[in-house]
Structure 1
Amino acid sequence: MEAQLIDDIVAILPHGRTRFDYYPERYAWLLLRHAVGNGCNIAELRQSPYAGLLHKPRVKAWLAQLGGPRLRPDDVLAADGDATPLHFTLTLDRWQGQQTTRGNANLVLQLNFDREHDRHYQNLIAPTQRYGPFVCASHPVCEGGRNTLAWARLDIDLETGEVLIEEIQNDWLRRVTHCLKYPRYLQRRGANPDGLAEYAAWLLPRYQRIWAEAMLAATVWFVREELGIARMFYHSPESNLRLKDLDADWAPPRSLYTDLPRQFCFRQQGTVPHFLRHKRAKLARRAPLFELDLGRKAA
């Protein structure tokens, strides 16, 4: 997408930080809101692309309590919020050039840590440099004083109403794990190695399991609610390599491009975004992308 379009999108959206609350498997409620639409029968959901959501523990317990065959949007809204969430914030940025499908710019959606994390980080790691030991400064992290847990890069076409999720990535947790093996790295980056073990013991159980689903949930929410776009595409491992001309040695974890999109009801339909149909259509058909259309109701 063009850099000017990114600037236009950032300009019209709310400025500052957008709060995004998340707890494990909250994405199921966010997706069910759209699947249910104005109302639908549970039997219809079981025959839809959203059927997998009905097997989630929270959703199963909720359905058992409802006791009726039909779901209403208010039922879903009432169920969302039955757990204590983490209070993340979302910010936007721009990414230019590298590892993009069209060799152009991407809109970046950043998922930034909650304040409780930042207090632990400051107290135990006490970084003295602008970019702390767990930040890769060449990646699209937040420059506005918040620590970025993860980010997503998006290629957006407003005319066709389509979004390609280019990548979801996390440096912070991976670097913490690396520093546990090589604590002297913290000293070279102006941080306190004495608090590392305590910090990692608090951090990793809290965020390791949910960071990817929280990032994709925030992305789907942002695309649907803030941009008003229902149709989304997500790279498979094959399309990620072929359409971006990546070396296989630099491939990200396969689970981020297989298990994660399937978890969110993305399916490989053999279709591609309109903006790829002429330039790389044949290549994309040999390496199919995942697709999710939240404009399609279960009924």
Structure 2
Amino acid sequence: MIREVMGSLPKERTLFWYFKDRYAPYLLQKELEERGPRTVGELKRCRFAKLLQKTVCKPLVSQAGNRPVMANEFAAIWPEVSKPYVLTVDKWGGLTDFHWNQTSVPGWNLVLQMNFSNEHDHEYRCLFGKDFDHFEFYSHPVHRGKRNTLAWARIDLDFNEGVALIEEIQTDWIREARDAFKDATEARKAKKNTFKLWSDELDVGRMCTYYERVLTSHTEQWAEAMLTAAVSFIRDELGFKTIFYHSYETGKSLKHIGRRGPPRSLYTELPKKFCFEETDQGPQFVVTHKEVRRMWKKLKYKKWFVLNL
């Protein structure tokens, strides 16, 4: 089924623009599309009330007064400063080696890749050359073509029930670039002009310029941007209204992740920011699977996040 989904999606590149806190007007827009126009007072009593406090939403909130707010008014919020990304899709997993693939159950995940735009890639190549590729790993679900993948979301789909599970949000690029920047900073303190990265000697000044000037805006927003892209893709492109997201402990167990887990904030703070609600009822296509049922009683922590749009 994943192949059919991939085949039905646009073949040309899909631009995705992100500005700080874009998820806030997006989720409020979806709330109004589902339930109809509401006054600000009524929105303050809904599940997305805290999003009204985001700076990006305040002008509309203050101007609305007591009149009903329309969904398209939140959709029209668009600050001057935003970043373009290019979205691509792929698949990940298989019926065997699902422990290694870190899927909750055997099968295929749909991968939504958020790639850098030409704006970033031009500056990146000017600093490091066109063949430099030390910030991503091809054993992970990154784009196999010319695109440089900032981050990706792995998504499992239940087409019978219209339910999605976001298995992971991850970036190699930010982590590897941050580690390289730390090494460059140490070399700069030691008054060295170069530092070692894998088998290459890199220029300290170029690495610091890249991280401090080119990459900074992406490091601050990559997780929010990736989850916004994933949620909007699931809801608007696939038409699924129920979206599950792993909690830290349950996700580690079901995906057979060892002691060194992912950043905890991605599975605690991030979903709460998007108003996902905690639940002990997981997606049925996962919790009823025989592989999960075998280990279910051994799990000490059984929590998920869920968002219904």
TM-score higher than 0.5? yes
Q: Deviations over 1:74-99 (max 9, x none)?
A: 22122x21232111110001111311
The code of the aligned residue for 2:106 comes to G
Describe the SS at the equivalent of 1:57. coil
Report what 1:105 is aligned to.
Answer: 108
Describe the SS at the equivalent of 2:233. helix
Q: Deviations over 1:131-151 (max 9, x none)?
A: x01111211111121111000
1:31 to 19, 27, 49: 27
Matched, 1:84 2:81: yes
Q: TM-score, normalised by structure 1?
A: 0.89
Report what 1:292 is aligned to.
Answer: 307
Deviation for aligned residue 1:40: 2.0
Q: Distance in 2 between matches of 1:201 and 1:253?
A: 22
Describe the SS at the equivalent of 1:71. coil
Deviation for aligned residue 1:120: 0.7
Report what 2:262 is aligned to.
Answer: 252
CA contact (8 A) 1:21 1:85 kept: yes
The code of the aligned residue for 1:8 comes to E
Report what 2:62 is aligned to.
Answer: 64
Greater relative contact order: 1 or 2 (C-alpha under 8 angstroms, separation 6 or more)? 1
Q: Number of residue pairs matched? A: 286
Matched, 1:22 2:18: yes
2:124 to 121, 130, 133: 121
Q: Distance in 2 between matches of 1:73 and 1:285?
A: 42
Matched, 1:224 2:235: yes
Deviation for aligned residue 1:201: 1.3
Q: Distance in 2 between matches of 1:125 and 1:193?
A: 11
Which shows bigger deviation, 89-98 or 208-217? 89-98
Q: Distance in 2 between matches of 1:285 and 1:8?
A: 37
Deviation for aligned residue 1:157: 0.8
2:247 to 233, 236, 240: 236
Q: Distance in 2 between matches of 1:171 and 1:286?
A: 28
Deviation for aligned residue 1:192: 5.7
The code of the aligned residue for 1:170 comes to T
CA contact (8 A) 1:164 1:232 kept: yes
Q: Which runs of 5+ in 2 are unaligned?
A: 185-194
Which shows bigger deviation, 151-160 or 171-180? 171-180
1:48 to 46, 52, 57: 46
Describe the SS at the equivalent of 1:44. helix
Q: TM-score, normalised by structure 2?
A: 0.86
Calculate percent identity across the aligned residue pairs: 37
Q: Distance in 1 between matches of 2:149 and 2:8?
A: 23
CA contact (8 A) 1:268 1:290 kept: yes
RMSD: 2.0
Deviation for aligned residue 1:270: 2.2
Q: Distance in 1 between matches of 2:267 and 2:21?
A: 18
The code of the aligned residue for 1:56 comes to K
Report what 1:156 is aligned to.
Answer: 157
CA contact (8 A) 2:41 2:66 kept: no
Describe the SS at the equivalent of 1:216. helix
Describe the SS at the equivalent of 2:57. helix
Deviation for aligned residue 1:193: 5.5
